[in-house]
Amino acid sequence: MSREKARAYWNDKAATSMLEERQRKSGRFGELYETCCWHYIEPLLPPRGAGRILEAGCGPGRWVFRLAPMGYRLELLDLAEEMIRHAAERVQQQGLEERVSAYHTLDICDMRGLSDGRFDLLLALGVPLSLCESPEQAVAEFARVTRPGGYVVCDFGNRYRRALDLFDRAKLAESVSALEGQWDELHRGISLRYFAPWELTSMFRAQGLEPLHLAAVCPLFGFPHSEEQVEMLADEEMFQGVREMFFRYAERPEVVALSGRLLIVAQAVE
C-alpha cells in the first residue's frame, strides 16, 4: 500500500467514535495488553524530568497518557494528520501540553525530520511495524533516532501463530502463505506483515539494536484477538489467570511460538 493511501486510510480511522467503539469491543483486552507492555517499559524509563521518549505510530495516543502525568517528556509521531490532531486534542483536554514537546506527522519508515540519537526510549506499540510499508527501513530509523544505550520497544504479529489460526479455519493456502512470510491482505488495501520471532531479532541486530527480551504479549491469544477471547477476559478469575500466565511464561520459547502478538525490547549499541 502506498504511503498516501495508508495516510488516507488512517486519517479516516481517527474519528473519536471509532476509537470508543474499538475500546468497547476489546473489553478488558486493552487492560491486559497495557499490563503486559508496561512490565517491560517501566524498567527502561529515564530519570523523571530528563531524557526524551518517542511514541512512534502513536495513533490518538496511548502511552503519553500514562507517562506524561508521571513527569516524562514525550514527542508523538504518526503518519496520519488526523491521528496527530486527535492526540493533541486529548493531550490538551487532560492538561498535559507541557509534557509533550513536539508532534510529528511522519512515516516511521522515513523520520528524516528527527535528528540522530534524539531519544532515550522509543515506543512503537500497536504493531506499526507490522503495518508499515517497509519494516526493515522502519527498524533502521528506530536505530538512528535512538541514542547509543537507549531502548526500543516494539510489538508485532507472530507468523507461526497466524498460520495456525488460518489452518484451524481450514484455510490451507493462506496458512502456507503465512508460514512463508507473505503479507496478509486485510481490507481497503491495508496489509499486515507477520514475523517469525527469529526474523525480527535478526532484523534488529542488523541495524545495531541488540535484542534484550522477546516476549508473548497477552500469551496464547491470537492476533487479531477473537470475540471469544475478549469475552473470556470478562471473567475476573480468568483475567487474573491470564495475567499470571504472562508473568510466569511470557519469555518461554514455546509460549512465544504459540502467541499471536509478540514484543521485543532492544538496546541501541553504544
Segments making up each domain of the chain, as ranges? 3-157+193-268
Other C-beta atoms lying within 10 Å of the C-beta of residue 257: 15
The pTM (predicted TM-score) of the whole model is 0.93
Site of grid cell 499471536: 260
Single-letter amino acid code for the residue at 97: E
- At residue 127, the 3 state secondary structure works out as coil
Other C-beta atoms lying within 10 Å of the C-beta of residue 158: 28
CB-side neighbour CA atoms (13 Å) of 128: 26
Residue 16 has pLDDT above 60, yes or no: no
Please indicate whether residue 13 or residue 251 has the higher confidence score (pLDDT): 251
The pLDDT value recorded for residue 17 is 42
The pLDDT value recorded for residue 27 is 81
- For the segment 251-256, the average pLDDT, to the nearest whole number, is 96
Domain 3-157+193-268 is classified in which CATH homologous superfamily? Vaccinia Virus protein VP39 (3.40.50.150)
The pLDDT value recorded for residue 192 is 84
Q: 212-234 pLDDT, tens per residue? A: 999 999 999 998 888 889 899 99
| Secondary structure E strands in the chain | 53-56, 74-78, 100-105, 119-124, 146-158, 184-185, 191-192, 194-195, 209-217, 261-268
